[in-house]
């Protein structure tokens, strides 16, 4: 008999109730021999360490300063599986400190290492003397912990509390990390007086996510006129949210990924509003226009851009002298900064000093120094120039909605003309005019125009790398092969080659070309044109010779390139594929064969389309008498792919690699 609908519903509700009430079965401070055996757990058996449980909780309580403090508690248990996982026994706990020496407090530390020896659990406690402190910046101090007696097979436990009066610094939580986590749990209890925006990211689903409300009572100590304290009690609704992820896989770096910080499953919080009883709500979160005005007035960013800057006068006259157009003036100013100043750091969003004049005098500075100087020089010459804040691909995404300046790490310059806008970066000595490095194409950025930060987008699929290679070889009656190769790489490949030539010299570059061929090949007359023409791609050309006398000759038509290995190694992927640019590569091969040889094997032509023309591979090969011609083209017009598209992408490249590895087989004819 089939169960009734009501019974099915009741069973489902009962199952959901059990799920909601499920708790981590780890008892911190108690480790038994059984806890060392993780064979029953669902986990990556190749993991060097495993986080058995990571549990955090943030709550609010009244303090002695007439307000509230945030109390963050964390409990952590990790199993070290082999020597490559020993780094999991070292921790850094950041603590915020304001300019007035007001700081977060660290306490209630309990940490031990457990080892299994002859069936017994041996505990080694962390001593206070083994906890060190390091100042990282004017606002951040780090507590550094390295656990004692750690070896393969150890279990380590760390429990601690952080007390914070900084309401804007509600602790974030990472459910995912370098090592797999069997149980990751975070609970946040927020009184009704505070409103936070929750920023969630990642591709791992929650095992448990529930919300509840309860009445809370808080005792706040208020200092009176004579230095004593009066206790005031307030009550209010406490909003609780509870998140759990179970069997969370480690996040591993793979090909075509920006930074793992973009994909890690985590929660962040931004304080939005404060509303105490019997008072008006106070908005805390700033707007983009608020931040824009602050940046424009900051002596470390925009304040100096609109000063007279008369100290530039004599130098500017020399720089633009003889220019025949405004475009030529722009190019000369840009080239002057790019070619005469040294970038000391490729990261930075503020001036390292409060003076552009000092940057100009020293002829060096970080990326913000140089591009803010470029902006000031263009403004001085009468151009509409503006600074642009962005985040590089390796730094992570910015937030389109909330103005979180910590998400930005780079500054470039925008110049607006009557019908166009150009983006310039004078910090890179190899960039041409109007070019930005691929690292800058990371989506959402902000341009500072009239005290407002307006959105601008640098999308990777707006970049297109085009590469064209031609190979012509001929074979004489003895089997000796001679040929000529000409290749025009894409702009960014050319830039990387220029960097290699500049760093290691032309001889080392020639060795690199020769290493792409086997020892039987002789490579001569290597030429690299347009090395100093930074606005253009390079032109490479060389001659090749193969002294062959075999009766059977194997030639790969893509002997100068082609894919050798699939860039997508993992069987599955839990986060997106993000290529740095769209691309279109064409390889043309021509070969003349002598009458003494005949074709024994010739690859078949093939055409593969990816996702309706978003990408594709074309391999066409023909024979006309003694001439073999081949054209191989691979292209992608799209650069970002979701995890569910990964397998199709992996299969596509597998087809390409297999086809590009096929060879032409020539066989010497038998004499009559």
Residue 9 belongs to some domain of the structure: no
**What is the span of the domain harbouring residue 400?**
288-458
Give the pTM.
Answer: 0.87
Q: Of 483, 380, 367, nearest to 425 (Cα)?
A: 367
89 occurs within a structural domain = yes
Q: Is residue 572 part of a domain?
A: yes
Residues 163 and 277 in one domain: yes
The first and second tokens of residue 5, run together, are 């609908």
Distance CA 241, CA 235 (A): 19
Is 208 buried (19+), middle (13-18) or exposed (0-12) by CB count in 10 A? middle
Phi, psi for 82 (deg, rounded to 5): -155, 180
Q: What is the DSSP letter of 138?
A: S
Work out the widest C-alpha separation in the chain, in whole angstroms: 120
The answer on 613 and 654 residing in a single domain is yes
Q: For the domain that residue 59 is a member of, what is the CATH number?
A: 2.60.40.3140
- 139 domain residue, yes or no: yes
Q: What is the pLDDT of residue 264?
A: 94
Burial of 298 (0-12, 13-18, 19+ CB in 10 A): middle
Give φ, ψ of 433 to 5 degrees: -65, 130
Q: What is the pLDDT of residue 233?
A: 83
Q: Report, in angstroms and rounded to the nearest whole number, the Rg of the chain calculated over CA atoms.
A: 32
SS3 17: helix
> How does strand 539-546 pair with strand 481-488?
antiparallel
Q: In sequence order, what are the residues at sequence separation of 6 or more whose Cβ sits closer than 8 angstroms to the Cβ of residue 439?
A: 392, 393, 394
Q: Look up tokens 């002057």; give the residue.
A: 336
Question: Is there a domain that residue 2 lies in?
Answer: no
Q: Given the DSSP bridges, would you call strands 155-164 and 194-201 parallel, antiparallel or unpaired?
A: unpaired
Contact 543, 562 (CB under 8 A): no
* Dist. CA 117–CA 56, nearest whole Å: 31
165 has pLDDT over 60:
yes
Answer with the one of 265, 283, 301 that is the final residue of a domain.
283
Q: Is 30 helix (H, G, I), strand (E, B) or coil?
A: coil
Give the integer Cα–Cα distance in Å for 474 and 260.
49
Last residue of a domain, one of 458, 486, 520: 458
| Structural domain includes residue 435 | yes
In a shared domain, residues 552 and 414: no
Three-class secondary structure of residue 248 per DSSP: strand
Q: Average pLDDT in the 358-365 region? A: 95
Q: Pick 12 or 560 by higher pLDDT.
A: 560
pLDDT level of residue 223 (50, 70, 90 thresholds): low
Identify whether 8 is part of a domain: no
Predicted pLDDT at 279: 82
**644: phi then psi, degrees, rounded to nearest 5:** -70, -15
Q: Give the CA count within 13 Å in the CB-facing half-sphere of 397.
A: 18
What was the pLDDT predicted at 382? 94
Which domain-ending residue is among 425, 458, 491?
A: 458
For the chain, the residue count is: 672
Number of structural domains (the chain) is: 3
pLDDT tens track for 235-268: 899 999 999 999 999 998 889 999 999 999 999 9
Q: Are 381 and 471 found together in one domain?
A: no
C-alpha span between 198 and 196 (Å, rounded):
6
Angle at 169 between CA 164 and CA 174, to 5 degrees: 110
- Output the DSSP codes for 648-669: HHHHHHHHHHHHHT--EEEEEP
Distance, in Å, from the CA atom of 134 to the CA atom of 144, rounded to the nearest integer, reads 7
Partner residues linked to 389 by β-bridges = 411, 446
Say if residue 226 is in the same domain as residue 295: no
pLDDT at 225: 59
Backbone angles phi, psi at 42, to 5 degrees: -85, 110
Structure tokens at 308: 């007279």
For residue 320, the model assigns a pLDDT of 94
Say if residue 276 is in the same domain as residue 292. Answer: no
DSSP character for 401? S
652 shares a domain with 559: yes
Return all residues near 117 (Cβ < 8 A) that are at least 6 apart.
Answer: none
Give the Å distances, CA to CA, from 119 to 66, 122, 152, 432, 452: 53, 10, 16, 67, 67
Distance (Å, rounded) from C-alpha 565 to C-alpha 65?
A: 62
SS3 361: helix
Please answer whether residues 484 and 588 qualify as being in contact, where contact means their C-beta atoms are separated by less than 8 angstroms. Answer: no
Q: Is pLDDT above 80 for 192?
A: yes
Q: Is residue 18 predicted with pLDDT exceeding 50?
A: no
Q: According to the model, what pLDDT value does residue 48 have? A: 95
Sorted by sequence, the CB contacts under 8 Å of residue 614 that are 6+ apart come out as 636, 637, 638
Residues 562 and 628 occupy one common structural domain: yes
For the chain, the first-to-last Cα distance in angstroms comes to 87
550: confidence class by pLDDT, cuts 50, 70, 90: confident
**pLDDT tens across 288-344, in order?**
999 999 999 999 999 999 888 899 989 999 999 999 999 999 999 999 999 999 999
CATH code of the domain covering residue 547: 2.60.120.1130
**pLDDT at 2 exceeding the cut of 50:** no
CB of 645 within 8 A of CB of 611? yes
239 and 174, same structural domain?
yes
Q: Which residue has the tokens 């010497």?
A: 668
Report the alpha-carbon distance of residue 370 to residue 331 in Å, rounded: 15
The predicted-structure confidence for 106-132, as pLDDT tens digits, reads as follows: 999 999 999 999 999 999 999 988 999
Which residues are 179's β-sheet partners?
Answer: none
Is 631 part of a structural domain of the chain? yes
Tokens (6 digits) for 574: 């839990």
Place of tokens 């940057």: 359
Whether residues 642 and 495 fall in one domain: yes
For the CA atoms of 506, 509, 511, 516, the dihedral, rounded to the nearest 10 degrees, stands at -150
Q: How many CA atoms lie within 13 A of 126 on its CB side?
A: 23
Whether the per-residue pLDDT at 440 is higher than 50: the answer is yes
- Tell me the pLDDT tens digit for each residue of 641-657: 999 999 999 999 999 99
Place of tokens 């248990």: 77
Q: What is the mean pLDDT of residues 56-76?
A: 92
440 and 484 both lie in a single domain: no
Which residues does 339 contact at the CB level (< 8 Å), separation at least 6?
429
Task: Kindly state whether residues 180 and 241 are assigned to the same domain.
Answer: yes
Task: Please write the tens of the pLDDT for every residue from 300-313.
Answer: 999 999 888 899 98
Q: ∠ CA(42), CA(46), CA(52), 5° rounding? A: 45
* Angle made by CA atoms 624, 626, 632, in degrees to the nearest 5: 60
CATH number, residue 358: 3.10.620.30
């Amino acid at each position: 008999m089939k169960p009734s609908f009501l019974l099915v519903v009741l069973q489902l509700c009962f199952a959901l109730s059990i799920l909601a009430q499920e708790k981590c079965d780890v008892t911190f401070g108690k480790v038994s021999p059984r806890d060392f055996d993780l064979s029953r757990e669902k986990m990556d058996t190749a993991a060097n360490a495993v986080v058995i449980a990571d549990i955090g909780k943030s709550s609010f309580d009244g303090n002695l300063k007439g307000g509230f403090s945030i109390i963050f508690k964390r409990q952590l248990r990790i199993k070290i599986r082999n020597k490559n996982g020993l780094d999991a026994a070292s921790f850094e706990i950041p603590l915020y400190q304001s300019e007035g020496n007001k700081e977060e407090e660290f306490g209630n530390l309990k940490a031990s290492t457990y080892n299994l020896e002859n069936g017994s659990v041996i505990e080694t406690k962390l001593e206070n003397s083994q906890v060190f402190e390091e100042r990282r910046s004017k606002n951040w101090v780090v507590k550094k912990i390295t656990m004692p007696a750690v070896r393969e097979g150890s279990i380590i436990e760390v429990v601690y509390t952080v007390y914070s009066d900084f309401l804007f610094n509600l602790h974030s939580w990472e459910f995912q990390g370098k090592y797999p986590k069997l149980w990751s749990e975070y609970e946040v209890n927020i009184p009704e007086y505070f409103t936070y925006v929750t920023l969630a990211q990642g591709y791992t689903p929650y095992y448990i996510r529930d919300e509840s409300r309860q009445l809370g009572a808080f005792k706040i100590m208020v200092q009176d006129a004579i230095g004593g304290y009066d206790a005031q009690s307030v009550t209010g609704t406490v909003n609780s949210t509870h998140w759990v992820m179970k069997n969370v896989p480690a996040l591993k770096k793979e090909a075509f990924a920006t930074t793992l910080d973009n994909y890690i499953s985590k929660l962040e919080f931004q304080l939005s509003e404060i509303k105490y009883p019997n008072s008006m709500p106070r908005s805390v979160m700033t707007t983009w226009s608020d931040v824009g005005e602050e940046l424009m007035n900051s002596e470390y960013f925009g304040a100096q851009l609109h000063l007279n800057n008369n100290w530039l006068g004599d130098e500017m006259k020399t720089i633009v002298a003889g220019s025949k157009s405004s475009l030529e003036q722009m190019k000369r100013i840009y080239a002057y900064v790019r070619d005469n100043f040294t970038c000391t750091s490729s990261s930075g969003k503020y001036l390292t000093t409060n003076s552009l004049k000092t940057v100009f005098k020293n002829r060096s500075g970080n990326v913000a120094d140089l591009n803010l100087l470029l902006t000031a020089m263009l403004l001085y010459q009468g151009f509409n120039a503006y600074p642009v804040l962005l985040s590089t691909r390796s730094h992570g995404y910015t937030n389109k909605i909330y103005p979180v300046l910590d998400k930005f790490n780079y500054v470039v310059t925008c110049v607006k003309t009557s019908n166009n806008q150009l983006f310039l970066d004078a910090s890179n000595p190899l960039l041409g005019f109007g070019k930005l490095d691929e690292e800058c194409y990371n989506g959402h950025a902000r341009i500072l125009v009239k005290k407002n930060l307006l959105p601008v987008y640098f999308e990777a699929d707006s970049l297109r790398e085009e590469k064209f290679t031609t190979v012509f070889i001929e074979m004489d009656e003895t089997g000796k092969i001679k040929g000529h190769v000409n290749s025009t790489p894409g702009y960014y490949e050319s830039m990387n080659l220029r960097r290699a030539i500049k760093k290691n010299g032309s001889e080392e570059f020639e060795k690199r070309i020769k290493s792409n061929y086997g020892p039987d090949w002789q490579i001569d007359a290597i030429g690299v044109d347009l090395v100093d023409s930074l606005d253009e791609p390079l032109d490479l050309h060389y001659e090749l010779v193969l002294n062959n006398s075999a009766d059977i000759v194997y030639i790969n038509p893509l002997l100068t390139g082609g894919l050798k290995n699939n860039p997508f190694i993992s069987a599955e992927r839990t986060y997106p594929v993000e290529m740095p640019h769209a691309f279109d590569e064409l390889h043309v091969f021509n070969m003349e064969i002598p009458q003494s040889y005949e074709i024994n094997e010739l690859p078949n032509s093939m055409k593969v389309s990816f996702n309706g023309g978003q990408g594709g591979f074309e391999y066409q090969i023909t024979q006309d008498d003694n001439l073999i011609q081949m054209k191989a083209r691979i292209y992608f017009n799209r650069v970002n792919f979701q995890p569910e598209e990964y397998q199709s992408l992996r299969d596509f490249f597998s087809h390409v690699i297999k086809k590009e590895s096929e060879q032409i087989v020539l066989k010497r004819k038998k004499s009559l």
